A and B are shown apart, each in its own frame.
Chain A
Amino acid sequence: MIMKGAKQSRISKQFSPVSCDSHLQTLRESAVKVASSEDLLIQILLKVPIKALMGFKCVSKQWSSLITNPHFVHLRSPLPSASSLFFISSTRKRKNPDYQFIPLDVGDEWRTPFKILDFIHDPLGSGISVLQSCNGLLLCASFRAHELSRRYYVYNPTTKQFAILPQIGSQYAEHVCGMNLAFDPVRSPYYKVVCVRRVGNLFQIEIYSSETQLWRVSGKPFTAPEYTEFQNCIYWNGSVHWWSGSFHWSNGIIYGGHWRDVPYTLYFKVDEESLERLPSPKKPNYLVPKYVGESEGHLHLVEFKYTILLDVYEMARDYSGWFVKYQLDLYAISNVYPEIIRENKTYAYHIISLLRKGKEEEEDGSFLVLEIVGGKTVRYNLVDKSVEKLWEFAPG
């Protein structure tokens, strides 16, 4: 069949000189294009390691603009898979917190992106700390500074470039509840920062775009479920998600002595600039989830099923609902680390992170990182329930 088609086209085109000429024309045009050779340059520079690339900005204006062009940066760095966490060593002793990186993936190449955040000269001693990391960019703030003089920065530890965000407006500075970074290199080389500030009993969103380099009010003031934490967000699927209650570093249960039903949480679709509600997987939902987080393009939520069995839910990409993807069996952990069970029969642990591993045809090696009593950080494989120790914090 294919042969037949080719024969036909040959017959028709042999006698039409136009298409042959157009090929020759293309050849001539390509000759001119190659002379500018920017495509070629890009292909070469893509293969040069980042460190060397930074020094090449001195070669020529074209090279300098190419290397710093956000589209080029995007071509170079596909979405990084977060396989290491960082911890602050001590904020009290030093002006700038010291960062330590811990590889979560045993066998991963061990590289420390940075030890101290000193990308900016900090004369006031206000210290710079990381608020959030999003697809390779970090949102930092001068945490010791008073709210009125607090500055926010977006920092790229790979290219060492940073941007100082313009201040939001001094009349609002003290009412800022949260600053959230929204960056998805697949969607756009530009990032946005979503700021939520209080307006009386309500909240208002302002958006900063690195494309316009300006802040702009978005939408009208809105209400939010009680205890919504705007300073901790999860960026997933193009939206900034907020949760109620401080589940991050606590066993998150009761507030003010009352059980509070949290039927939904809020999320903000950044590009469409619309606020939506995300239902909780369990109804009624009195407990703050044990963990919520994003990994490899999936949004997960961990909640109790029974005391020693937790469900790991995943949200469908079209927001149609939660489904149980894995389970956390605390019994498996207590077999290896019996000290996890307290005297009163409760379990002493908290979930630090969930990492998805293994693409479609590969074996699923997804795991949870938990901190258990005694300063131990362990890795729990969600598929085969195996447990191994990653790290142990020295006392102090």
Chain B
Amino acid sequence: MKKLKFIGNPLLQSREKINMSSDKKWLTLKTTEDNEEFVVEESVAIMSNVIKNMVEDGCASSVIPVPRVKGNAMGKIIEFCKKHTEESDEKVLKEFDAEFLNLGPDALYDLMVSANFLEIKVLLDSVTTKVADMIKGKSSEEIRNILKIENDLSAEEIEESRRENCWTRQE
């Protein structure tokens, strides 16, 4: 039996091994709704918990199909994840987020739904905070328009609610 010979520092050797095995990996994400393909670094893609799980379980060999997310939303998401992987300065990231989220309500809504679906916590937190800020000053009617909600309350229910909450409007 050959005796295993370690050359140099055994710890260093195993670290080298790790570096060699995790060369920059690239993944292809394909939005199934509009068949757009995006080639991204694995380190960026795994900001999505859903994709991360797939990678860790060895299912991300070729192209990952992503349902429900549209091409332009996917593009924006990748842009976000890339910036957050590359940049570590909190201040810079904050400025980037503010600029990035300067979107119309429709685009914001799409982004939010996609971030939730792909389980990207950082993005979801930023978007939900932005949406909360947007709606807090609005009336119920305006909110229904922005978030595409059907008004299913009867006239009496609305009146009762208004009466209960009249103190909020006075203050």
> CB within 8 Å of B: which residues of A?
3, 6, 9-10, 13-14, 19-20, 23-24, 26-28, 30-31, 34, 37, 39-40, 43-49, 51-52, 54-64, 160
Contacts and interface: CB of A to CB of B under 8 A. Distances in A.
A43 B121 CA distance: 11
Contact of B153 (A6, A23, A61): A61
18 contacts: A3-B21, A14-B58, A30-B117, A34-B113, A37-B116, A39-B116, A40-B128, A43-B124, A44-B132, A46-B132, A47-B128, A48-B136, A56-B135, A58-B165, A59-B143, A59-B144, A61-B157, A62-B149
Nearest to A34: B117
B32 to A, nearest CB: 9
Interface residues of B, number: 47
B6 interface: no
B153 A19 contact: no
B34 to A, nearest CB: 15
Given A23-B54, A55-B165, A59-B144, 20 more contacts: A26-B50, A27-B50, A40-B128, A43-B128, A45-B132, A46-B132, A47-B129, A47-B132, A51-B171, A54-B168, A55-B168, A57-B165, A58-B140, A60-B150, A60-B153, A61-B152, A62-B149, A63-B149, A64-B157, A64-B161
A54 B136 CA distance: 11
Contacts of B27: none
Given A34-B116, A60-B150, A160 B167 contact: yes
Contact of B53 (A23, A48, A59): A23
Interface in B3-24: 17-18, 21
Main secondary structure of the interface of A (DSSP, over half): helix
B88 interface: no
A31 B117 contact: yes
Given A51-B168, A55-B168, A61-B152, A3 B143 contact: no
A3 B13 CA distance: 14
Contacts of A40: 112-113, 116, 128
A23 B66 CA distance: 11
B161 A19 contact: no
A45 B133 CA distance: 10
Interface in B34-71: 50, 53-54, 56-59, 61, 65-68
A31 B153 contact: no
Most buried by B among A9, A59, A60: A59
Contacts of B61: 14
B8 to A, nearest CB: 19
A10 B59 CA distance: 8
A26 B139 CA distance: 37
A9 to B, nearest CB: 6
A48 B168 CA distance: 14
B58 A13 contact: yes
Contacts, number: 110
B102 interface: no
A20 B59 contact: yes
Given A30-B50, A64-B153, A54 B165 contact: yes
Contacts of B153: 58, 60-61, 64
A31 B67 contact: yes
Contacts of B143: 56, 59
Nearest to A30: B117
Contacts of A27: 50, 65-67
Interface in B102-140: 112-113, 116-117, 124, 128-129, 131-133, 135-137, 139-140
B27 to A, nearest CB: 14
Which 10 pairs across A and B sit closest by C-beta, in order of nearness? A47-B132, A10-B58, A20-B59, A58-B140, A52-B136, A31-B68, A13-B58, A59-B140, A58-B161, A43-B128
A24 B158 CA distance: 43
A44 B108 CA distance: 13
B132 A3 contact: no
A5 to B, nearest CB: 11
B114 to A, nearest CB: 9
B17 to A, nearest CB: 7
B133 to A, nearest CB: 8
Contacts of B58: 9-10, 13-14
Contacts of A43: 116, 124, 128
B162 interface: yes
Contacts of B139: 55
B53 A57 contact: no
B153 to A, nearest CB: 6
B169 interface: yes
B140 A34 contact: no
Indicate the member of B59, B61, B140, B152 with the most A CB atoms within 10 Å.
B59
B22 to A, nearest CB: 8
